[in-house]
Structure 1
Amino acid sequence: MARRTQRFTEEDFDSLEGRASKTEQKKAVQRMAALGEQLAELSAKQIKNLPVEERLIEALEDVKLITSGEARRRQFLRIGKLLRNEDETVILSYLTPKQGAKKTAQLNRWVDRMVVQGDPAIKEFMKAHNAAEHHPIRQHILRINRDITKKASEEEIAASKLKLFNYIQQVALISDN
């Protein structure tokens, strides 16, 4: 087997940054399927009013008619796949009333604590929420800290924090069940 003659450059790693591994992609699909299960619990009227693609609304309505366990599982995976094309902030806003304002404020405090304290706060959050994973949280925090050190605009930092908050909110919704 021939050896690679050139060394990897910083650009090689920068091009890979932000890409999710296969495992992370699979776990994201599982998280989205779990969110789909919670969306399916909404009333038919609430499902109709969701600002999402028609295919997703039809899939959520179809899952209510499915009785077989395996067929439901596959349908939720399909819903999870369709959810990836949607704005997760909008989807989470429909599920947030299930959590309440107190829980949302608590999750915002978690975000601030994790950004400031790092790993100790992440481990504490993971103990409280069994669906949480260390790597995605750490990646979000590293992006936030990188934005802060690069003196990025407040909008960019807020966008990075929103991504972390959305992940944490998904985990909290899944863990509460």
Structure 2
Amino acid sequence: MTDYTQDSPDDEIISKSQRKRDMDSLQDLGKELVELPNDKLKRMELPEDLLTALLDHKRFTSHGAKKRQEQYIGKLMRDVDPEPIRRQVAVIKGDSAEHNAWLHLVERLRERLLADDAALAPFLVDYPATDVQTLRTQIRNARKEQLESKPPKNFRLLFQTLKGIIPEPGHSAPEEEQE
């Protein structure tokens, strides 16, 4: 009598067509990575051999060499989880709804802090590791800029500071808190 309750290795058979679609998808992701500037590639969390292959692709001038390198990049990507890379590429290209929502949150908080002094207390409750003195100075300087119709240098600086304080969803703690 055959025991049908055990899982056999055949339960997870993937068709040849599906494997080909998966490989094409990885090669397409590799092509997207190749189109990114070198400095953005270096800031991404990529395996060293994949980063080297991507940077090498940019050096090649021959069409055939580029095609072979793209296939090699696709092969390297088989050993990597592509989802974190896809998310990073989406953030860089501005296609990530989650990243855009986070940026809008930071903008709203900046507007609240500039509009009302009372907004600082709840902000400090939510983000207790904040350097209060620096934040107050930046808020004061940004308000002064707006009143005097000066270029928004401190307004932008306040935004960058808030980006460093407020953790982005799906990422580790902000850089200042990691130390």
Structure-2-length-normalised TM-score: 0.47
Structure with larger RCO (C-alpha < 8 A, sep 6+)? 1
Structure with higher Rg: it is 2
Structure-1-length-normalised TM-score: 0.47
